[in-house]
Structure 1
């Protein structure tokens, strides 16, 4: 009996020792694979050669951690590229009016200018300075919107009264650009909880964007769907066919690759930021060649 016990105990000890050796070999293998991953030699996931619940749980967490690292690196690369593009675009947007201002200042230094030419040069400088000021204000506002300290003052707003008032202020500019508005405004009482100045800025940014880029008919619609108030601007935009409409809200995306200096590309991004701060939603969609910008507020 004692001999059997010794044999069984020896076998158990041998099995435990063998399992311990296998586990140590597995740990060394996992360590080697993690080291190769850290050195960029492989992107393979960890797998277990022997069944062990604790080691399998460890491998799962390590794989999860490496996935997080991959996503973080991809996000960092995207952010760095966006930052490089942003710096280039900001530099371009600021350089354009500055170059013009400097050129006209040099012109003013000339003694051969008539009084009329001098007045015209000063007028151009004034316009370029105002443009530069508007750009700087946009950059500042965009930075502030992203800040947690940026707060709005929501109150009860009648969109059916506020939006027509805002739109009428752009009548002359639309006419100058040959833009023909087509209104479909629900004149029932449409009340939402929102910041009036923010709503005005959102609508103004959308309309200014349309005036700069749209031609022909501009569809303007205010309606109620379910429990939401929907404001839509639509216009023909064949140049955007096949474009991911989310790019329009990228703070430094420009559909016109030539970047003529007409727009900073920040208007739609600021509008979306303000809508988000109000608990609303701003989206874009393409239907054929028609671009729709859609604002959605929850009804009060």
Structure 2
């Protein structure tokens, strides 16, 4: 009987001791979480009492802390990107608007000749056109990036679509004295995609190649195992690999001194559309040539 009593008392003492240390650990964890929530520390939860269930709880709490930190980092990045985008679009809008207002004010003068007035009016039209393109591209990008942006996925014969787009740029190639090198298979190259979105992507890449080429443009469409790859390449001068890494950023222009067309939104629009279609788009610099590469799974 005495042995049973002693055993019960030892067990009771063990439970009390275990409860004491567990309660102490809970208080310690609460203090650490309070310090973390008050931004007094960035340290994750640290426990000294070894209990399998409590260790598992601490592990899950630390995982949640990591997820919260990641979410906060993404939020800060998005906020900075938004601020930068607003800054860029404000600048790009202000430039043609200032030009338009300045020339309109000049047109009010009675001392201008008819020829000068005609020249000013043409400049106003050009500035207004640039402003219109900028606003349309910005609006299009904002629509595309919405989660419920509609896509009509179907089988697309990519080789025919690419050739159709290229024929549409015949005049632009002529004006730049560029004879594109076209390497496209005559066999059917099929992908699952939205034909309108694919056409927009190819158009934007061709426009970029024509606008910034130093004389050479190559279009290559091929199937590599289960992947269909479209590569649009153009020769470039003074373009670094660091600049290539930012080409798909909103409003980014590798050569900031260029004012010829371009809103800095064509490539981000192409990237957003490719991601919506579960495709891939990336850029690489090789042997003084900028390669824009799109990839889809073949069908």
Counterpart position of 2:253: 254
Aligned residues: 299
Aligned to 1:243: 242
Q: Which moved more, 1:120-129 or 1:238-247?
A: 238-247
Q: Which residue of 2 aligns with 1:3?
A: 2
In the TM superposition, residue 84 of structure 1 has moved relative to its aligned partner by 1.1
Question: Shift of the alpha carbon at 1:55?
Answer: 1.0
Show the counterpart of 1:123.
122
Mapped partners of 1:4, 1:277: distance in 2: 74
TM-aligned CA deviation for residue 261 of structure 1 = 7.4
Which position in structure 1 is the counterpart of 2:106?
A: 107
CA distance in 2, matches of 1:189, 1:3: 92
2:280/2:294 contact within 8 Å kept: yes
Q: Deviations over 1:58-112 (max 9, x none)?
A: 1111111111121111111111111111011010111111111111111211111
Deviation at 1:257, TM superposition (A): 4.7
Deviates more, 1:147-156 or 1:27-36: 147-156
Matched, 1:48 2:47: yes
Give 1:244 deviation, angstroms: 6.9
Task: Report the alpha carbon displacement of residue 53 of structure 1 after superposing the two structures with TM.
Answer: 1.4
Secondary structure of 2:216's counterpart equals strand
| 8 A Cα contact 1:241 1:289, kept in partner | no
Matched, 1:206 2:230: no
SS in 1 for 2:247: helix
Cα 1:152/1:34, change in 2 over 3 Å: closer
Q: Could you say which residue in structure 2 is the equivalent of 1:70?
A: 69
Alignment of 1:184-203 (within 5 A): 184-203=183-202
Q: Deviations over 1:217-236 (max 9, x none)?
A: 12211222223432211123
Residue 24 of structure 1 deviates from its aligned partner by 1.4
So what's the TM-score if we normalise by structure 1? 0.89
Give the C-alpha shift of residue 145 in structure 1: 0.9
Partner of 1:158: 157
Gaps of 5+ in 1: none
Q: Distance in 2 between matches of 1:259 and 1:83?
A: 24
Most deviating of 152-161 and 52-61: 152-161
Q: Distance in 2 between matches of 1:261 and 1:171?
A: 19
Shift of 1:195: 3.4
Does the C-alpha gap of structure 1 residues 194 and 19 become closer, same or farther in structure 2, counting only changes over 3 Å?
A: closer
RMSD: 2.3
Instruction: Write the deviation string for residues 156-211 of structure 1: whole angstroms up to 9, x where unpaired.
Output: 44333332232233233234345452222222233344433322221111111122
Q: Give 1:141's aligned residue.
A: 140
Provide, for residues 240-268 of structure 1, a one-character-per-residue CA deviation record: whole Å limited to 9, x for no partner: 43327453222233323557474221101
Q: Which residue of 1 aligns with 2:96?
A: 97
Provide the C-alpha distance between the structure 2 equivalents of 1:195 and 1:11, rounded to a whole number of angstroms.
73
Specify whether residues 233 and 111 from structure 1 end up closer, same or farther in structure 2 by C-alpha distance, changes over 3 A only.
Answer: same
When residues 34 and 278 of structure 1 are mapped into structure 2, their CA distance, relative to the original with a 3 A threshold, is closer
Q: 1:173 is matched with which residue?
A: 172
> Match of 2:264?
265
CA distance in 1, matches of 2:130, 2:66: 46
The 3 A distance-change label for structure 1 pair 24 and 253 is same
Counterpart position of 1:218:
217
Q: Tell me, what secondary structure is at the counterpart of 2:242?
A: coil
